[in-house]
Amino acid sequence: MSVASSFSSQGRFADWRLATQSIIGFWSFYLVTVLLRGLVGPEAASAISFRAFNAALGLVLTFLIYIAIRMFAREGSIRRMAIVAAIAALPAAVLMATASLRMSTWANPMGETSKIMTQEGVAIVQRGNNVRIVKGDGDELEVNLPPMEEIIGDKMPRLIADGTATWYFLLAAWCAFFIAMTQQHRTRITELRLAEAETAAHAAQVRALRYQVNPHFLFNTLNSLSSLVMSGRSDRAENMLMALSTFFRTSLSIDPSADVSLAEEIGLQKLYLDIEKVRFPDRLEVDIDIPEELEQARVPALILQPLIENAIKYGVSQTTARVKLSVRARALDGGRMQLDVINRAVGGTTRKVPPIPTHTGTGLGLSNVSQRLEAHFGKRADCRFGPIEGGYEVSLAMPLEEDD
């Protein structure tokens, strides 16, 4: 299963890992920031517990906001996600402000003692709601402040509103970050799907071009068989059928989209040439020159097949002369390799040979090879062909790639 399809199949909360990581990271950063600031205060212990409570509550509420986004804007646009997030963040901010205010009023009335000395030598000592003012001469005044609930009672709605604004913008910051991350993730998934579709289309094109080779080859070989049978050479026709069976059994076992080594490709072409030698035992001479260092170079399977077929059809069959069919490979500069297929008459009488193939067969020879090279290597490969003195030559240039 592909990455993109795997992601799509996980359902509504497919990105829960991304959301969890962002929520934990967001509130961890908040907690560390406020704790570093609180540690310099006189009541560091109470500040730590208070901020830790805020962070824990914020983490839970933020996760609920994520659930709301996924419930009401699962596959929606960024605008819809932003609207859902803005609405969901409001009650969460109110709850955060109310809880924070309540935590401050429920603080231990007998908390840690704080002491302040004035320039006049007066000490102000506070512990919880108890405040003592000690003068330099020893006189002391003690005041018990009313509970925090009484002090801020009338101001509670306004304080909650102020706190709501602060927490709302904090929660909105996470929402904006999460929506941006979600959009980036969607873009990545779309890119993966496009890449998979492009790869699938490319593979289909390569397979289609590769599958054209066998009918093309079979068409020409059946013509050869027909010629042998009609001329009464049934023994040669039988030998050709056996060679043909071996060739197809070998070639059909190859993955149409896979590459083969140059040595394997030449081995397949030798099987085919064995078939044609049955038909032209005295007129076909084969010369294969493949350097040992290029034997493991990778080439598309059966890329040479249509070229050798054309060399037989337009070289050997068009002349009474002995024809030398040469297959050569050589390394080029820049990490490239060139393959040449050449047919040249070496004696006898030549009948009319068209400089460029104009037969009435399937018409897929050079066209198929050119399209396969372009599909496989793009602009990095090319196919050149044309008549030469006494024959015809086709040259393929492609990147030199080998197995690791």
Query: In the chain, pLDDT over 70 holds for what percent of residues?
Result: 71
Which pLDDT value is given to residue 316?
82
Task: Calculate the alpha carbon distances from 77 to 183, 187, 191, 359 in Å.
Answer: 9, 13, 18, 58
Element (H, E) at 69: helix 44-72
- The lowest-confidence range among 46-50, 156-160, 270-274, 303-307 is 46-50
Q: What is the pLDDT of residues 68-101, one digit of tens each?
A: 998 888 666 788 889 999 999 999 999 999 888 8
What is the residue extent of each domain of the chain?
A: 3-107+150-194, 110-146, 233-399
pLDDT at 359: 39
Residues sharing a CB contact under 8 Å with residue 40, sequence separation 6 or more, in sequence order: none
Grade residue 34 by pLDDT with cuts at 50, 70 and 90: confident
pLDDT at 50 over 60: yes
Q: H helices of 231-360, where?
A: 234-251, 262-279, 305-311
Q: Which residue has the higher pLDDT, 5 or 26?
A: 26
Residue 171 to residue 135: CA distance in whole angstroms:
48
pLDDT digits (tens, 9 = 90+) for 120-163: 667 777 666 666 777 766 677 776 665 555 555 567 788 888 88
44 versus 368: the higher-pLDDT residue is 368
In this predicted model, what pLDDT tens digit does every residue of 265-294 receive, in sequence order? 999 888 888 878 877 888 899 999 999 999
Indicate if the pLDDT at residue 331 is higher than 80: yes
> Which position has the higher pLDDT, 121 or 313?
313
pLDDT digits (tens, 9 = 90+) for 378-396: 888 999 999 988 889 999 9
Q: Alpha-carbon distance 280 to 273, whole Å?
A: 10
Among 77, 100, 248, CA closest to 170: 100
pLDDT tens per residue across span 227-244:
777 877 777 777 777 877
Tens digits of per-residue pLDDT, 359-372? 344 446 788 788 88
Class of domain 233-399: alpha beta
Average pLDDT over residues 307-323: 83
Measured on CA atoms in the order 162, 166, 169, 171, is the torsion positive or negative? negative
What ranges in 301-350 are assigned the alpha helix state H? 305-311
**More confident position, 60 or 38:** 60
